[in-house]
Structure 1
Amino acid sequence: MNLLNTSFERVSYGVQIKTSLLFECALGIAMITYPKLHNQLEMTRAELDELKIRLSSELTAELDYCQEHNTWKMLLQLLHVKDFSSPGEFYQFLKSLSESELKYYALPFVDIMQEKNRLAASKGDREAENDLVLACKGHVFFPQLIHFVCSSKHTELLNHFQALVDGWYNEVILPEKDWTSGVLERDVLEKRSISQLESPHKTVLKAAGIDYKPEQGIADVILIPHVAYRPWTIQADLPAAKVFYYPVSDSSLMKSTDPFEPPGQLVQKLKAIGDEKRLRILKLLVKKELTLKEVTVLVGMGKTTVHHHLTLLKAAGLVHVKGSVYKATGDSIKGIEKEIFTFLHKET
Structure 2
Amino acid sequence: MNVLDTSFKRRSFEVEFKSSPLFECALGIAMITYPKLHEQLEKTKAELEQVRKSVSRELQAELAYCQQHNTWKMILQLLHQQDFFSLQDFLDYLDEVNPQQFTYLVLPYLDESQQANRMRASEGDQQAIREMAAACMDHVFFPQMITFIAETETSKLILHIKQLMEGWTHEVMKQEDVEQILQRDVLEKQHRLAQSSPEKVVQWSTGSVYKPEVNVERVLLIPHIIYRPWTIEANLERTKVFYYPVSDASLHGMQDSTQPPAYLVQAYKALADEKRLRILNLLSDSNRSLKELTDILDIGKTTIHHHLAILRSAQMVHVTGAMYSLNKSALVGYEASLLEYLSVEVTREK
2:308 corresponds to 1:307: yes
Partner in structure 2 of residue 172 of structure 1: 172
2:331 corresponds to 1:331: no
Structure 1 unaligned blocks of 5 or more = 340-348
Partners of 1:210 and 1:322 within 8 A in 2: no
Cα offset, 1:311, TM superposition:
4.5
2:144 corresponds to 1:139: no
CA distance in 2: counterparts of 1:204 and 1:172, whole angstroms: 30
Superposed CA deviations along residues 65-99 of structure 1, whole A, max 9, x for unmatched, are 11111101110111111110111111111121111
| 1:299–1:163 Cα change, 3 Å | same
Partner in structure 2 of residue 248 of structure 1: 246
CA distance in 1: counterparts of 2:268 and 2:131, whole angstroms: 45
Partner in structure 1 of residue 182 of structure 2: 184
Cα offset, 1:332, TM superposition:
2.7
Partners of 1:29 and 1:168 within 8 A in 2: yes
Partner in structure 2 of residue 232 of structure 1: 230
| 1:199–1:73 Cα change, 3 Å | same
Partners of 1:292 and 1:325 within 8 A in 2: no
CA distance in 1: counterparts of 2:150 and 2:160, whole angstroms: 15
CA distance in 1: counterparts of 2:69 and 2:191, whole angstroms: 39
| 1:206–1:12 Cα change, 3 Å | same
- For residue 326 of structure 2, what is the amino acid of its counterpart? V
- For residue 136 of structure 2, what is the amino acid of its counterpart? C
Which residue, out of 221, 224, 227, partners 1:223? 221
2:149 corresponds to 1:149: yes
Superposed CA deviations along residues 21-76 of structure 1, whole A, max 9, x for unmatched, are 00000000000011111111111112112211221111110000111111011101
- For residue 124 of structure 2, what is the amino acid of its counterpart? G
Structure 2 unaligned blocks of 5 or more = 345-350
Partner in structure 1 of residue 47 of structure 2: 47
Correspondences of 1:43-122 after superposition (within 5 Å): 43-122=43-122
Partner in structure 2 of residue 281 of structure 1: 277
**TM-score under structure 1 length normalisation:** 0.84
| 1:292–1:47 Cα change, 3 Å | farther
Partner in structure 2 of residue 345 of structure 1: none
CA distance in 2: counterparts of 1:277 and 1:81, whole angstroms: 43
**TM-score under structure 2 length normalisation:** 0.84
- For residue 28 of structure 2, what is the amino acid of its counterpart? G
| 1:32–1:274 Cα change, 3 Å | closer
Partners of 1:104 and 1:118 within 8 A in 2: yes
RMSD: 3.2
CA distance in 2: counterparts of 1:274 and 1:189, whole angstroms: 28
Partner in structure 2 of residue 18 of structure 1: 18
CA distance in 1: counterparts of 2:5 and 2:267, whole angstroms: 49
CA distance in 2: counterparts of 1:70 and 1:211, whole angstroms: 27
**Count of residues paired in the alignment:** 330
CA distance in 2: counterparts of 1:283 and 1:158, whole angstroms: 44
Partner in structure 2 of residue 344 of structure 1: none
Cα offset, 1:213, TM superposition:
0.5
Cα offset, 1:8, TM superposition:
2.7
Partner in structure 1 of residue 347 of structure 2: none
Partner in structure 1 of residue 124 of structure 2: 124
CA distance in 2: counterparts of 1:267 and 1:110, whole angstroms: 28
